[in-house]
DNA sequence: GTATGCAGTACCCTTTTGTATACTAGCTGC
DNA sequence: GCAGCTAGTATACAAAAGGGTACTGCATAC
């Protein structure tokens, strides 16, 4: 790797600079990222609260994906220097602009859950 | 794996049976799946043509993700028993119903590419 | 003194993805 | 006959992403 000045970021697709869908997928690439954004849409949330709302996610992964979303400018992280620690995650404007994508996923899923329930 | 009658499908989320977004993500979970669906939206496509349109994907992965999409009823696979082999992939009705999701991704990405070009 | 909550980090292991190559089957060219 | 073509499949192996759990430091609660 690092053969040239600008290498493909981790998880990015070849041609993601110009293909709109690839560009979006590069940002959403991560098992929990869309769900994190979905949970943050209504209101900001603290780390452990987010963890509780996303059953199945581990601390390690949640931390990693939040950091990645922060790097991409989707999520804002506000640390209050108190004890016990208080860290609040919220969507940036860029993050909120992903709402239509999550909305479309929600709508499709609702239809599936309605028409083809599993349990 | 396969310890019980019905295990969580590969890539599925806990609670995906009822959470709409998880349900959608379970189907779209796979680095290339949304792009495959995106490419198949306008018209059916053969394997190697699909591979050419998705620079960066390997045969192995493309095969695997197509099989998975087929299992989920998103993609139809039509084999013509001729030599050389001719296999055509197309979206099922269920697959086409994902268009709004891909459309939202495309729209968001277009805005990003326009406002924050990389190269 | 022990238990709990917060917001993580460190360690190790499994699954998924990426890369490369060899193989199928019949056809064309030499 | 042998090489190369199409449109894949199968296999092996390495790298990246995901997952489980223990642990930290400080504070309050019992």
Looking at residue B110, its pLDDT comes to 96
Q: Is any atom of nucleic acid chain C found less than 7 Å from the CB of residue B56?
A: yes
- The yes-or-no verdict on residue B10 having pLDDT over 80 is no
Residue A5 lies inside a defined structural domain of this protein: no
Total domains in the fold of chain B: 1
* Average pLDDT in chain B: 86
- The answer to which of A89-93, B66-70, B92-96 has the lowest mean pLDDT is B66-70
Which single residue has its CA nearest the C1' atom of nucleotide C18? B58
Residue A6 lies inside a defined structural domain of this protein: no
Residue B10 lies inside a defined structural domain of this protein: no
Helix, strand, or coil (residue B86): strand
Q: Categorise residue A83: left if φ over 0, alpha if ψ from -120 to 50, beta otherwise.
A: beta
Looking at residue B91, its pLDDT comes to 94
- The answer to whether B15 contacts A56, with C-beta atoms less than 8 Å apart, is yes
Residues in B closer than 8 angstroms to A35, CB to CB, are 13, 21-22, 25
CATH number for the domain that contains residue A46: 1.10.10.10
Range of the domain at B79: 16-114
Q: What DSSP string describes A23-51?
A: HHHHHH-STTHHHHHHHHTTS-EEHHHHH
Closest by Cα among A42, A95, A27, A80 to B113:
A27
Residue B20 lies inside a defined structural domain of this protein: yes
Q: Is any atom of nucleic acid chain C found less than 7 Å from the CB of residue B29?
A: yes
Q: Which residues pair with B87 in a beta bridge?
A: B79
Task: Please list, residue by residue across B16-45, b when 16 or more beta carbons sit within 10 angstroms of its beta carbon and e when fewer do.
Answer: bbebbbbbbbbbbbbebbbbbbbbbeeeeb
Three-state helix/strand/coil letters over A63-107: HHHHHHHHHCCCEEEEEECCCCCEEEEEECHHHHCCHHHHHHHHH
pLDDT tens, position by position, B13-68: 888 999 999 999 999 988 899 999 999 999 998 888 888 888 888 888 888 899 89
Q: Is B4 exposed, middle or buried (0-12, 13-18, 19+ CB in 10 A)?
A: exposed
Of A5 and B55, the structure prediction assigns the larger pLDDT to B55
Q: Which residues pair with A63 in a beta bridge?
A: none
Residue A107 lies inside a defined structural domain of this protein: yes
Residue A26 lies inside a defined structural domain of this protein: yes
Q: Provide the shortest C-alpha distance from residue A78 to chain B (in Å).
A: 25
């Amino acid at each position: 790797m690092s053969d040239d000045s600008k290498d493909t970021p981790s998880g990015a697709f070849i041609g993601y600079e110009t293909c709109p869908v690839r560009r979006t997928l590069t940002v959403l690439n991560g098992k929990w990222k869309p769900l994190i954004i979905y949970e943050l849409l209504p209101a900001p949330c603290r780390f452990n609260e987010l963890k509780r709302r996303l059953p199945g996610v581990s601390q390690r992964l949640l931390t990693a994906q939040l950091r990645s979303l922060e790097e991409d400018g989707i999520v804002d992280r506000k640390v209050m220097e108190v004890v016990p620690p208080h860290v609040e995650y919220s969507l940036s404007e860029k993050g909120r602009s992903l709402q239509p994508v999550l909305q479309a996923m929600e709508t499709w899923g609702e239809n599936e859950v309605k028409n083809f329930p599993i349990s």
